[in-house]
Structure 1
């Protein structure tokens, strides 16, 4: 019986020795600190039909990296990088390696993981840093932008209906074509109603005054007075007067010459006549129209063939009432206030995010 037990123990020892001699494991250190890495190396004295499994059941330890298998001196070597994040003693259990379909077990290894001593009484305290501000994005101002767009749309709608012009319906009225004399007197009357020279628009006044006279001469005497210079027009009228083609006198032609020269000085030389001179020129213009006519015995063909003319009157524009103007001003003030409020809030929020917290001692 004793011999049998001896042979059994001898067989087990020989088998274990044969396994340990074929598969070996080792580490570069058995004592590490928390988070420190160490190397676990597995060597196999065979190169064919060898299966090296993954490390498993590592309680308290973690595999950081598994290096590729190397072949050195007819040996397969595989290295692992391990670490531990909990203090204590941890075993790397036996690993099973298959060689030619036969299982071999490695030795288990003990790894001690220790903590790093920290003296909290000597650590310098730093203030808590403020939250770092992020760059502005569309979502930060989306609500304010939608409000502003809505208010602008509302204001635009109110303005559209408040300032909407009347329908562009042209009012057509038929009036007979006025004779040159009547048209000239009407032009002088309309010019008086404009009150141009009373509002210091002397240049415009003389320009329209001479236009009335030239247009009258052009229609009454059939002379291109609008395109003719002052000297050319006076020479033409003098020739007509010499041939008795027009019913006037030299004094009227002289008054016309002086009036046109005065208008040229106002328009081109920036002359500014006195009020009594302007009123005198107005009366002279009417006197010229009264004393400058075509010398004919029959009615002018132009007057015979009078045709009605269609005068198109522009529709009147309704001005906004005082209430509408006040409402528009209030709406504009509300919009400006909302925009200012939103911008001030955004600036305040940005400054609060950028300021560090310094009340920690």
Structure 2
């Protein structure tokens, strides 16, 4: 009797142990391991409706003390985005929280789903571990994970319900606050414009400076030549500038095309202009000497440079006095 009782007790304990191991394995999901490398793949559910997510927690553990301090590397499987009617939606980064000097942990969560009804298999996943120190290699496969994808049950015994009519939503002023704010800003801007900017006195334009007369322009340029004395550095340039001043003055004051005429033509055309013809000798001397200096490479004496300049100033001043006197003698409304 005592022997039979012992056999019964041992049998009962063995049954409880096997049942506990089976229950633990069912709660944890598929688990594969060897002496130092352990992999766990556990889905949070194996039955979903179309489109619902399934989170699969994948954990690997490597016992470093069993490898005698080897430098190891774990390679997770590279699942495609779609495999056997199962879509991989998201992959979290590897998490090494919980690793110690004796054991190293890697964890990743895969989020998968399916849009086809049926029972679909996620194939075994291969995990590899390498020893960088000695080049050793090992691998572990998880068991396949089956996911049942169900459709939404439809009761065909009931009649189809009609489409519900549109419902009117109650008007709420807060729904239109951007438009009301824009309208308020426009009203404020218009009010400020009429209240301030429109009444603001307009700035009066600055009075225009009177234009210089041809006489004033010619005298400024001649006095500038007198101050700068360009004949000390470039005789040809000096006579070019001097004759240009006179020709511009004749053209603007007496309307003679002096810039396009030669010296002979200009002397011929100033004859009808009495005030210029009275200074004919000085004008002829200046223009002739200038032509020789510019085109015949004549080098006038030093005193001739300043003498020509003084003659030019005298011509301009004479014509100015003569023009003023002639203008004062003309009847009112008569053009010169």
TM-score by length of 2: 0.34
Q: Which has the higher contact order (CA 8 A, sep 6+)?
A: 1
Q: TM-score, normalised by structure 1?
A: 0.31
